[in-house]
Amino acid sequence: MLMVIFMQKTNLKSLSKQELEAFIEELGLPAFRAKQILHWIYEKYAQSIQDITELSKDLREKLSEKAYISNLGLLDRQISKDGTEKFLFGLEDGETIESVLISDEDRLTLCISSQIGCAMRCRFCLTGKMGLKRNLDAHEIVDQIISANRIIKPRKITNIVFMGMGEPLANFDNVTNALWRITELMNISPKRITLSTSGIAPKILEFPKKAPMVNLAISLNATTDEVRDYIMPVNKTYPLKVLLEACRKFPLPTRRRITFEYVMLKGMNDTPEDAKRLVKLLKGIPSKVNLIPFNPYEGSEFKRPDDESVLRFQNILIEGQLTALIRKSKGQDISAACGQLKAKYSVIS
Ligand code: SAH
Ligand code: SF4
């Protein structure tokens, strides 16, 4: 009987720099080949080994016997009236993820996902209602940027925010690995990257030891444990005091601030008393506050406050010496706004 043994090919995109160097050495190739391959994957967006024309045809063939380059498939692309674009990408196992491109002035920001769904179950967030399907691998996180860059050529992503689907600190290793690749291989400065978390306090402190010094954003969203427990279950494990203690200990580089996101929910967290408490809570933390009026969706239990109470809230923060901006969710007509990613394509449990 004829036995055919299938050898699994190595996905070059799934390897870190060090892993690729080891792989190239194992194949008996000189070390500079690894550098060339990295350049073609991360800066020239090669979609296959055949695309790497700097390598001879023979070498490309030899490499193709052992390896391949994975790609996200572009399944859908929508453009909002305000210019925000949403990409729906297909992964190798058939799952899908979304990334959102927001352009303002001289910045092109890509809002990327770190997980399929999210286990944190914040009450106001549509992604939270999906539960967690799975973590994204490091290369699936990075590939959102590579793919977007390829699509929007000759434009190039300048800023990255981890504010798509998922809780990045709950996918710690893959997110930190992705960050090394984004900063070292794609040359995007850590200053132009923001990681947003619902507040897994111990991970906030472990993070700067393991990852490049990106900006930190905290989804605070409440000023009392009672309200935060209700809207963000993570607060039951890491209450406000513990979370803010972690923020105080966070080794912020000079002149940098922590961003506090505050989704405003009518009658829940939008009173002048909340604003005053927020001023007190953030005392001593170099911070800026982004007020995000709730972005409603069908069946949501919360409502967006009227503009007047949002402005009143903002004024109290400003009087309390805080920097406070009102952020309107972009791309609402294409469900690209905060917390809405992918939900339209999924069955909501
Ligand atoms: N999981 C991370 C990052 C993704 S959520 C985190 O929670 O920080 C990105 C932001 O969208 C968070 O600040 C969250 O509070 C906000 N958000 C979620 N659903 C929203 C909604 N329906 N309207 C407005 N903001 C929302
Ligand atoms: Fe997850 Fe963030 Fe949504 Fe909470 S707000 S459910 S942490 S994605």
- Residue-level pLDDT at 95: 94
How far is residue 189 from each of residues 179, 181, 200, 210, 277, measured CA to CA in Å? 10, 11, 24, 16, 35
**Domain contains 179:** yes
Q: Residue 337: which pLDDT band, with cuts at 50, 70 and 90?
A: low
Average the pLDDT over 62-73 and give the result.
96
What CA–CA distance (Å, rounded) separates 342 from 319? Answer: 38
Ligand 1 neighbour 140 (Cβ under 6 A) = no
Question: Ligand 2 mean position to 71 CA, how many Å?
Answer: 27
Q: Residue 329: which pLDDT band, with cuts at 50, 70 and 90?
A: confident
From atom 15 of ligand 1, which residue's Cα is the shortest distance away?
219
User: HSE-up of 278 (CA within 13 Å, CB side)?
Assistant: 34
Question: Is 90 exceeded by the pLDDT of residue 346?
Answer: no
Counted residue by residue, the chain has a size of 349
Question: Ligand 1 mean position to 163 CA, how many Å?
Answer: 7
Q: What is the average pLDDT score of the chain? A: 93
**Domain contains 6:** no
Question: Is 80 exceeded by the pLDDT of residue 5?
Answer: no
From atom 7 of ligand 1, which residue's Cα is the shortest distance away?
198
| Nearest CA-CA partner of 92 in 62, 134, 50 | 134
Residues 85 and 203 placed together within one structural domain of the fold: yes
**Domain contains 3:** no
Question: Is 90 exceeded by the pLDDT of residue 188?
Answer: yes
**Domain contains 341:** no
The token pair that represents 218 in the structure block:
């905290």
What residues contact residue 111 under an 8 Å CB cut-off, 6+ apart?
99, 100, 101, 102, 161, 163, 164
**Residue 282: Cβ within 10 Å count:** 22
Residues 64 and 87 placed together within one structural domain of the fold: no
Looking at the structure of the chain, the number of domains it has is 2
The token pair that represents 296 in the structure block:
């409603």
Residue 3 burial (C-beta neighbours within 10 Å; 0-12, 13-18, 19+): exposed
Residues 159 and 49 placed together within one structural domain of the fold: no
Which of 19-33, 69-83, 115-129, 334-348 has the lowest average pLDDT? 334-348
Work out whether strand 159-162 and strand 132-135 pair parallel, antiparallel, or are unpaired.
unpaired
Ligand nearest to the CA of 120: 2
Residues 43 and 91 placed together within one structural domain of the fold: no
Residues 179 and 86 placed together within one structural domain of the fold: yes
The domain boundary, picked from 26, 44, 68, lies at: 68
Residues 34 and 169 placed together within one structural domain of the fold: no
Residues 157 and 24 placed together within one structural domain of the fold: no
| Nearest CA-CA partner of 199 in 175, 226, 222 | 222
Average the pLDDT over 238-245 and give the result.
98
Residues 48 and 86 placed together within one structural domain of the fold: no
**69-122: per-residue pLDDT in tens?**
999 999 999 998 888 999 999 999 999 999 999 998 889 999 999 999 999 999
Evaluate whether 191 touches 255 at the Cβ level (below 8 Å): no
- Full residue range of the structural domain in which residue 41 is found: 11-68
Residues 263 and 311 placed together within one structural domain of the fold: yes
Residue 297 or 32, more confident:
32
> What interhelical angle do 138-152 and 32-42 show, nearest 10?
60
What residues contact residue 301 under an 8 Å CB cut-off, 6+ apart?
123
**Domain contains 136:** yes
Provide the strand spans (E) within the chain.
10-11, 67-68, 73-79, 85-90, 96-104, 107-111, 115-117, 132-135, 159-162, 193-197, 215-219, 258-264, 287-293, 323-326
From atom 25 of ligand 1, which residue's Cα is the shortest distance away?
338
**Domain contains 275:** yes
Average the pLDDT over 331-343 and give the result.
64
Residue type, 216: L
What CA–CA distance (Å, rounded) separates 235 from 318? Answer: 26
- State the DSSP code for 6: P
Q: What CATH number does residue 63 fall under?
A: 1.10.150.530
Residue 53 burial (C-beta neighbours within 10 Å; 0-12, 13-18, 19+): exposed
Residues 83 and 60 placed together within one structural domain of the fold: no
Ligand 1 neighbour 295 (Cβ under 6 A) = yes
Q: For a pocket test of ligand 1, which of 111, 118, 161, 163 has the largest count of ligand atoms closer than 8 A to its C-beta?
A: 163
Residues 45 and 136 placed together within one structural domain of the fold: no
**Domain contains 349:** no
Question: Residue 63: left (phi > 0), alpha (psi -120 to 50), or beta?
Answer: alpha
Ligand 1 neighbour 198 (Cβ under 6 A) = yes
- Residue-level pLDDT at 345: 43
Whole-model pTM: value is 0.94
Q: Residue 167: which pLDDT band, with cuts at 50, 70 and 90?
A: very high
Task: Measure the CA dihedral 332/127/45/84, to 10°.
Answer: 10
The token pair that represents 290 in the structure block:
């982004």
Q: Residue 263: which pLDDT band, with cuts at 50, 70 and 90?
A: very high
How far is residue 234 from each of residues 6, 120, 154, measured CA to CA in Å? 45, 7, 41
Counting from 1 in the atom list of ligand 2, the atom nearest the Cα of 339 is: 3
% the chain with pLDDT above 90: 87
- Residue-level pLDDT at 347: 35
Question: Ligand 2 mean position to 294 CA, how many Å?
Answer: 13
Residues 183 and 210 placed together within one structural domain of the fold: yes
Residue 36's φ and ψ, nearest 5 degrees, are: -60, -45
Q: Is 66 helix (H, G, I), strand (E, B) or coil?
A: helix
Token look-up 């039951």 returns 236
Ligand 2 neighbour 128 (Cβ under 6 A) = yes
- Residue-level pLDDT at 153: 93
